[in-house]
Structure 1
Amino acid sequence: MPALLCAGVDEAGRGPLAGPVFAAAVILHEPTPIAGLNDSKKLSAARREALALAIRQHALAWSIASASVAEIDELNILGATMLAMRRACEGLQHAPQHVLVDGNRVPQGLSCSAQSIVGGDARVPAISAASILAKTARDAYCQAM
């Protein structure tokens, strides 16, 4: 019987006053662990970039999505964050059977079960990986502005 496809989900950009909010979803490939995964806020920029490359190369599936400033204005930051998280889950190359979300809320409208985990970005490798992809995507967006 195949293992449960479980995605980790996290966001970046809820605190800043400008720009979209980014979210990522990652399904790790269990036989290929990625060493050094942690909460993106606890890693240097160079380490985040190196890990982001490893995640893109070795994860079973990953997706990055965003919600625009207009969507933040329309929905509020929490609603826009949940929208970006749902988009990231929907963008995965393989549909997850369960989603683990950093924080205390889960996006509505997912096609599978979901669970929130406070501090999950430091405790659950798939959420750590999502944290890293979301943060590096937001950083790249900000540098391009």
Structure 2
Amino acid sequence: MPYEPPTHSVERSLRATTGAKIIAGVDEVGRGAWAGPVTVCAAVTGLRRAPEGLTDSKLITPKRRTALAAELEKWVTAHALGHASPEEIDELGMTAALRLAAVRALDALPLRPDAVILDGKHDYLGGPWQVRTVIKGDQSCIAVAAASVIAKVRRDEMMARLETEAEECLAYGFAANAGYPSPVHKAALAELGPTAYHRLSWAYLDALPRWRHLKKVRISAEAAALESGGQLGFDF
């Protein structure tokens, strides 16, 4: 499907209106998975021309996405990844866990951004950064698209390693599904139950009578209140 390549228009607007010089594009992957961390990438690109074919990671074939991620990691001015673990997601809720992962990514950058472009319409980051949210920013904004590709590829690799390195994960198909719902993943959960790498506050456990007793309820009312509607509704 044809698409318009991403541009630096948002970065140029921020430079013109706020005086920001170092601008990071931020995107996440793993929000809707049942297992594994939520991963955030922060990427600083400057205003250089992007590599050919850059767009939202979901619109790129896996083979091309892997090659492009390696190219982007050399091309960007700076980038860093941040993760929030399944345990942190269960304890804090997704909104707060996303912020934790994003803060970790931004803090790991060698350059402190003056502003952040965040994919989507909700600002889950907040201060002290100046944040501009952009719906479908991973398609329209070069820095966010770069962050999208790097985050997707590196998290997928993490989940694939679990399948080969953690014996308890062999049956769940993480190399193919990256912890998201799939027939193989669902069948393994029904038979074997969740592993130490699964999110135990997620609604999928409601459909597993044998393992339902393992479901965790977050203690923090504040964290629960931050949770946006439907994020836990991944029923069978």
Quote how far apart the aligned CAs of 1:3 are.
7.3
Cα deviations across residues 53-75 of structure 1 (Å, max 9, x unaligned)? 11111110100110001110011
Higher helix share: 2
Measured in 2, the distance between the counterparts of 1:88 and 1:81 equals: 11
Percent same amino acid among aligned pairs? 37
2:170 corresponding residue in structure 1: none
| Match runs of 1:1-145 below 5 Å | 4-108=21-125, 110-145=127-162
What is the SS of the residue equivalent to 2:116? strand
What is the SS of the residue equivalent to 1:35? coil
Cα deviations across residues 29-65 of structure 1 (Å, max 9, x unaligned)? 4235322211111111111111111111111010011
Measured in 2, the distance between the counterparts of 1:82 and 1:3 equals: 21
Cα deviations across residues 70-123 of structure 1 (Å, max 9, x unaligned)? 110011122211211121111111111110000122244544311111111111
Measured in 1, the distance between the counterparts of 2:133 and 2:60 equals: 23
Cα deviations across residues 2-39 of structure 1 (Å, max 9, x unaligned)? 97211100000001111110000000142353222111
What is the SS of the residue equivalent to 2:139? helix
Query: C-alpha root-mean-square deviation of aligned residues, in Å?
Result: 1.7
Q: Using structure 2 for the length normalisation, give the TM-score.
A: 0.58
Q: Is the 8 A contact 1:22 1:67 kept in 2?
A: yes
Task: Return the letter of the residue paired with 2:148.
Answer: S
Measured in 1, the distance between the counterparts of 2:127 and 2:149 equals: 22
Gapped runs of 5+ residues in structure 1? none
Measured in 2, the distance between the counterparts of 1:109 and 1:10 equals: 14
The count of residues paired between Structure 1 and Structure 2 equals 144
Note closer, same or farther for the CA distance 1:51–1:110 as it changes in structure 2 (3 Å cut): farther
Higher relative contact order (CA 8 A, sep 6+): 1
Q: Is the 8 A contact 2:50 2:142 kept in 1?
A: no
Measured in 2, the distance between the counterparts of 1:47 and 1:29 equals: 23
Q: Using structure 1 for the length normalisation, give the TM-score.
A: 0.92
Higher strand share: 1
What is the SS of the residue equivalent to 2:145? helix
Q: Is the 8 A contact 2:20 2:115 kept in 1?
A: no
Deviates more, 1:58-67 or 1:109-118: 109-118
Task: Return the letter of the residue paired with 1:141.
Answer: M
